[in-house]
Amino acid sequence: MERLRPILDAITPVDRSLETDIRAHLDNLTKPPGSLGFLEDLAASYCLMTGTTTPRLGKKRIVTFAGDHGVAAEGVSAFPSEVTLQMVHNMLAGGAAINVLAKHVGADLQVVDIGVADPLEGASGLARKKVKAGTDNISTGPAMSEEEAIQAIQVGVDLANSAADDGVALLGTGEMGIANTTPSSALYASLIPCSVVEVTGRGTGIDDDRLQNKIKVIERSLAVNVQLFNNPLSTLAAVGGLEIAGICGLILGAAGRRLPVVVDGFISSAAALVAMRLGESVRDYLFFSHCSAEAGHRTFFERLDIRPILDLDLRLGEGTGGALAMQVIEAAVKIYNEMATFDSAGVSSKAD
């Protein structure tokens, strides 16, 4: 944990003293106070995250981390492990859902190999940050060493710093990794904490028999690694994934730079949970884009009292929900910046 101290010490709470002026401005816009509902909350959150009552929009970037998982050998996914590699190539060719949605919302897409089993030689346009060629099987031992988890976190921190230096104003998370709902469920169960059944779903579409097997595999993984659950970092190393660690680092690094993060779905939220357990102020800098159709995501939001922006039954990952939510956040900030006030428009305000 001490290795992460400089990263965590850079994260400070938002300045809540700004909220009075932010809310006063929202209430002075030409509308009944509060009539734009959650949009007003999003605008206020963006102002607080960026530390200003005069927010500015800028570039958007989605960082999609790819990694393989040893636990895939336990039959927890409907797809074989080689699909991770195939989907990375698909993303690099521009053919994945995240390519379409990132382009639609005007966001840059960065695809990162942080733990794909294949060496991916000759793949162009790929950020090569491989820590390890896939995790080990969590049902028989730890996914990775703490040192490897720290390396993966540092990859994410460095990418967040690069985004901040590039003038990115909204940073989205994404992932690709066959079987990665399994370590995500293990992290939820251990860090919320809650039962495995509450946070385990069908992932890529497994049938009832595979779902029961998946639950048993996760329960076995927790039992095998329980002695390693000493803190959030060791828990991440024990039952997490390399792409999950990368996203965790991206979140930590962005929070340290006051760069708002749009968290994608079930897997990204597991990474966010680790980050929030590592640093209590991390949550101040997070927008949660949507509630996934994956069983357990709603449990996460309810237990942590978080309201996601969208609820569209998405369960793809890649950063797709985050891309869509970016437009909602931008709309909220534009409302804050561009609507007339009662005074400027010569409109009478609500009678006392």
CATH of the domain at 281: 3.40.50.10210
Q: Looking at residue 289, what is its pLDDT?
A: 99
Same domain, 146 and 254: yes
121: annotated active-site residue? no
Residue 194 lies in a domain: yes
Same domain, 24 and 118: no
Same domain, 287 and 306: yes
Active-site residue, selected from the candidate residues 40, 243, 294, 318: 318
Same domain, 8 and 150: no
Residue 351 lies in a domain: no
Q: Looking at residue 352, what is its pLDDT?
A: 56
**Residue 29 belongs to a domain with what CATH number?**
1.10.1610.10
Residue 151 lies in a domain: yes
Same domain, 43 and 190: no
CA 288 to chain centre: 7
Residue 127 lies in a domain: yes
Same domain, 242 and 225: yes
Q: Enter the pTM of the model.
A: 0.97
Residue 188 lies in a domain: yes
Radius of gyration of the chain (CA): 20
Contacts of 259 (CB under 8 A, 6+ apart): 49, 160, 163, 164, 168, 169, 171, 285
> Is the dihedral angle over the CA atoms 1, 244, 251, 150 positive or is it negative?
positive
Same domain, 116 and 26: no
Residue 352 lies in a domain: no
Same domain, 131 and 211: yes
Q: pLDDT tens per residue, the chain (352 residues)?
A: 788 999 999 999 999 999 999 999 999 999 999 999 999 999 999 999 999 999 999 999 999 999 999 999 999 999 999 999 999 999 999 999 999 999 999 999 999 999 999 999 889 999 999 999 999 999 999 999 999 999 999 999 999 999 999 999 999 999 999 999 999 999 999 999 999 999 999 998 999 999 999 999 999 999 999 999 999 999 999 999 999 999 999 999 999 999 999 999 999 999 999 999 999 999 999 999 999 999 899 999 999 999 999 999 999 999 999 999 999 999 999 999 999 998 887 777 666 5
Contacts of 244 (CB under 8 A, 6+ apart): 67, 175, 180, 183, 184, 187, 236, 267, 270, 271, 274
Three-state secondary structure call for residue 122: coil
Residue 7 lies in a domain: yes
Same domain, 151 and 243: yes
Closest alpha carbon to 351 in 22, 33, 36, 40: 33
Instruction: Tally the domains of the chain.
Output: 2
Q: What is the C-alpha to C-alpha distance for residues 252 and 154, in angstroms, rounded to an integer?
A: 9
Q: What is the C-alpha to C-alpha distance for residues 32 and 248, in angstroms, rounded to an integer?
A: 39
Same domain, 158 and 26: no
Q: Give the domain range for residue 27.
A: 2-55+336-345
Same domain, 239 and 186: yes
Same domain, 50 and 184: no
Q: What is the C-alpha to C-alpha distance for residues 92 and 113, in angstroms, rounded to an integer?
A: 11
Residue 121, amino acid:
E
Question: What is the maximum alpha-carbon separation in the chain?
Answer: 69
Question: Are the C-beta atoms of residues 239 and 190 closer than 8 Å to each other?
Answer: yes
Residue 350 lies in a domain: no
